[in-house]
Amino acid sequence: MGPVSDSDLEQLGINVVRGLAMDAPQRANSGHPGTAMALAPLAHVLFTRIMHHDPADPAWPDRDRFVLSAGHASILLYSMLFLTGYDLTLEDIRQFRQWGSKTPGHPEVHHTAGVEVTTGPLGQGVANAVGMGLAERWLRTRFGADVVDHHTFVVCSDGDLMEGVSHEAASLAGHLGLGRLVCVYDDNHITIDGPTELAYGDDVAARFAAYGWHTEVLGEVANDTDVLEAALRRAMAVEDRPSMLVLRSHIGWPSSAMDTAKAHGDPLGEEVVRRTKEILGLPPGEQFWVPEEVLDLYRSCRERGARLRTDWQARFDAARIDRTAWQACMAGRGLEGWEAKLPTFEPGTDLATRKAVNQCLDASAEYIPGLVAGAADLTGNTGMKLADAEIQSLVSPGGAQVHYGIREHAMAAMMTGMALHGGVLPVAGTFFIFSDYMRPAVRLAALSEAHVVYSWTHDSVGLGQDGPTHQPVEHLAAMRAMPDLRVIRPADANETAHAWRVAVDGDGPTGLVLSRQDLPVLAGTAEAFEGVRRGAYVLVAADGEPEVVLVGTGGEVHLCVEAGRLLAGGAGGPALRTSVVSFPSWELFALQDGAYRASVLPPGVPTLAVEAAASFGWDRYADDSVSIDRFGASAPGTSVLEHFGFTAENVARRARALVERMHG
């Protein structure tokens, strides 16, 4: 190939991206080529003209963030990362969707350099990006524009905007006036079932304008790089509103499958790929063709990125900021020794664990510089009100108190975006029953190892008269089943303080499951940090080798303590040597060695679990359980618990029956 002009070289580069978008799914016999083909010009403009990024340092704090909410178009992102010089090779592109490759079917953060968030479940990326935009503005307000000054770009699809989470987040983004958040909607009129008109006729621009966004309908300009660049730069200049650019594209352009559902979710087929390459001026018989001049064109991003990062480093070095606070923010941790500020609670007093977490929050907030707290319209109810904190808004962009409104799903997805952006430790709450609304985002937080903390309160039928619609039963089992989510249900206020410490100092997401009702502070829990950190511990040791073990979590531990006294005192029969175990976290306990686990739950000793929730799963640790395998009831909380058998007397009776059944 002879010399080409700059514009011709750019067009060749775009067509090479389209070739990779066809070849990788074709080789894998799986994937989504069409969107990547249509959006190759947009990706080219973003990665080579617009975004501040350094392929040699993907974690550079002041880089622009790119979120491919339409994660099914992952080959587009992988192609740009490879071409611009991230730690991705052409062989990685060839291994698209194969075991152990860096190019999985949907982008995964921490798996592939340059991927900012894990996307694929539609709508999540939009909400993640809103969280990133909030984090950027919050950090810029705190540390100054010399240190934090970047944009968040998100590409979304029809499916993203049909899922409700995107609109929850978009509504809040508009209300907060989150500028520097630029969303491009790929309006290609195609979903898996066929034309979007089968189920979707929204006026997207009008809808987002009603949310308070800056909107532009760009029309048929998907192949015009200069028009795309100009539109992006106009949106970037909007400081007081997020921006939505509606781009009409043609999925699968310019193949014979263009504008069909075939181009969305299936390889095009070898013959269609060959003919399309001929149209694009690519060698029809070659796969994964990347000529040197195209690679040189894209690799110039490395020099530009290094220069941008070096300029930022000079500004950062000269900035007059609290560097200790900056480092703690970036790590999502507390300042050294922060845990010493946590309160200790006196045995014999009564306090709901949702109120205890609030005291922990207030006591430690000053020493956790990146802490941003909020709730889904339940700020006081869930212990998430920060004393004297400003409310996050357009006029108070440094506010650390976020009112998410009744938007649990968006709240959780935004928290993930904030955490993955870096610089923020998000903690937010709702009633445990409404974790149902959060679950898809919680799952992605776990998959992404996002350092977030959920305050899930009103944790059992003990909440009382709101009744079964608000009483969680199966939720503990469901959340415990989720890999890489740390669930902690503390027994009292002291265990809550320990759990808060574990959550802040740990990695990945933590769900604190907390009581509405007051619980007695128990003797021995103030000194039990190691026990909570290890997931379970002997709170009350038997007088000698135990004849029965009572295992409780949360608000049921004090019942086990009382039942243990009854059994040891001979109530209902001969005295039984009873060990009482507080078991706040299955996940943490599972990490311990066998010797420790056996010291807490001795093999062969009858073990009764006591938890006001479904029995599902307890057979791994206990021989029987006092539990609830039906929905709750509307009545005062103490009455509901009593009717379901959560009294010390019933626990003692059940324990004695278990011993007799097992040992005669």
pLDDT in tens, 166-210: 999 999 999 999 999 999 999 999 999 999 999 999 999 999 999
The pLDDT assigned to 4 comes to 59
Q: Which residue has the higher pLDDT, 296 or 2?
A: 296
The amino acid occupying position 444 is L
Percent of the chain with pLDDT over 70: 99
Residue 656 dihedral angles phi and psi, to the nearest 5°: -65, -40
Q: Which residues contact 307 (CB under 8 A, 6 or more apart)?
A: none
Inside any domain, residue 333: no
Inside any domain, residue 320: no
Inside any domain, residue 241: yes
| 552 strand-pairing partners | 582, 610
Local structure of residue 243 (DSSP, 8 states): E
**Maximum Cα–Cα distance for the chain, whole Å?**
97
Same domain, 86 and 195: yes
Same domain, 572 and 496: no
Look at residue 424 and tell me whether its pLDDT is greater than 50: yes
Look at residue 39 and tell me whether its pLDDT is greater than 70: yes
Which residue, 455, 488, 520, sits at the end of a domain? 520
481-513 burial by CB neighbour count: b if 16+ within 10 A, else e?
Answer: ebeebbbbbbbbbbbbbbbbbbbbebebbbbbb
Same domain, 134 and 253: yes
Alpha helices for 254-399 (secondary structure H)? 262-265, 270-280, 292-318, 323-331, 353-364
Inside any domain, residue 1: no
- Please report where in the chains the tokens 């979707």 appear, as a residue: 200
Same domain, 342 and 266: no
Look at residue 3 and tell me whether its pLDDT is greater than 60: no
Overall average pLDDT of the 516-541 stretch: 98
Straight-line distance from the first to the last Cα atom of the chain, in angstroms, rounded to the nearest whole number: 89
Look at residue 2 and tell me whether its pLDDT is greater than 90: no
Using one digit for the tens of pLDDT, what is the confidence trace for 367-422? Answer: 999 999 999 999 999 999 999 999 999 999 999 999 999 999 999 999 999 999 99
How many Å apart are CA 587 and CA 581, to the nearest integer?
16
pTM over the 0.85 mark: yes
Mean pLDDT, the chain, integer: 97
Same domain, 389 and 464: yes
Inside any domain, residue 60: yes
How many domains in the chain? Answer: 3
Antiparallel, parallel or unpaired: β 243-248 and 214-219? parallel
Inside any domain, residue 184: yes
Inside any domain, residue 330: no
Same domain, 475 and 553: no
Same domain, 426 and 515: yes
pLDDT band at 663 (very low <50, low <70, confident <90, very high): confident
Of 229, 408, 562, 587, which residue is the catalytic one? 408
Q: For the domain that residue 566 is a member of, what is the CATH number? A: 3.40.50.920
Given a contact cutoff of 8 angstroms between Cβ atoms, the answer to whether 532 and 497 are in contact is no
Which residue, 309, 326, 347, sits at the end of a domain? 309
Q: Active site includes 116?
A: no
Q: Would the CA dihedral through 330, 402, 477, 358 be positive or negative?
A: positive
Inside any domain, residue 446: yes
The pLDDT assigned to 251 comes to 98
| H-helix or E-strand spanning residue 66 | strand 65-68
Antiparallel, parallel or unpaired: β 190-191 and 194-195? antiparallel
Overall average pLDDT of the 576-588 stretch: 98
Same domain, 107 and 170: yes
Percent of the chain with pLDDT over 90: 99
pLDDT band at 1 (very low <50, low <70, confident <90, very high): very low
Given a contact cutoff of 8 angstroms between Cβ atoms, the answer to whether 421 and 154 are in contact is no
Nearest to 514 by CA among 552, 474, 554, 560: 554
Look at residue 436 and tell me whether its pLDDT is greater than 80: yes
Overall average pLDDT of the 612-620 stretch: 98
Q: What domain range includes position 60?
A: 6-309
Using one digit for the tens of pLDDT, what is the confidence trace for 221-253? Answer: 999 999 999 999 999 999 999 999 999 999 999
How many Å apart are CA 171 and CA 416, to the nearest integer?
18
Nearest to 161 by CA among 122, 190, 133: 122
Instruction: Classify 487 in phi/psi space as left (phi over 0), alpha (psi -120 to 50) or beta.
Output: beta
Same domain, 291 and 405: no
pLDDT band at 68 (very low <50, low <70, confident <90, very high): very high
CA atoms within 13 A on the CB side of 614: 15
Same domain, 494 and 543: no
Nearest to 558 by CA among 462, 431, 429, 658: 462
The pLDDT assigned to 120 comes to 97
Overall average pLDDT of the 540-561 stretch: 98
Q: For the domain that residue 384 is a member of, what is the CATH number? A: 3.40.50.970
Same domain, 237 and 369: no
Using one digit for the tens of pLDDT, what is the confidence trace for 319-356? Answer: 999 999 999 999 999 999 999 999 999 999 999 999 99
Which residue, 520, 550, 574, sits at the end of a domain? 520
Overall average pLDDT of the 572-590 stretch: 97
Given a contact cutoff of 8 angstroms between Cβ atoms, the answer to whether 468 and 460 are in contact is no
Same domain, 494 and 570: no
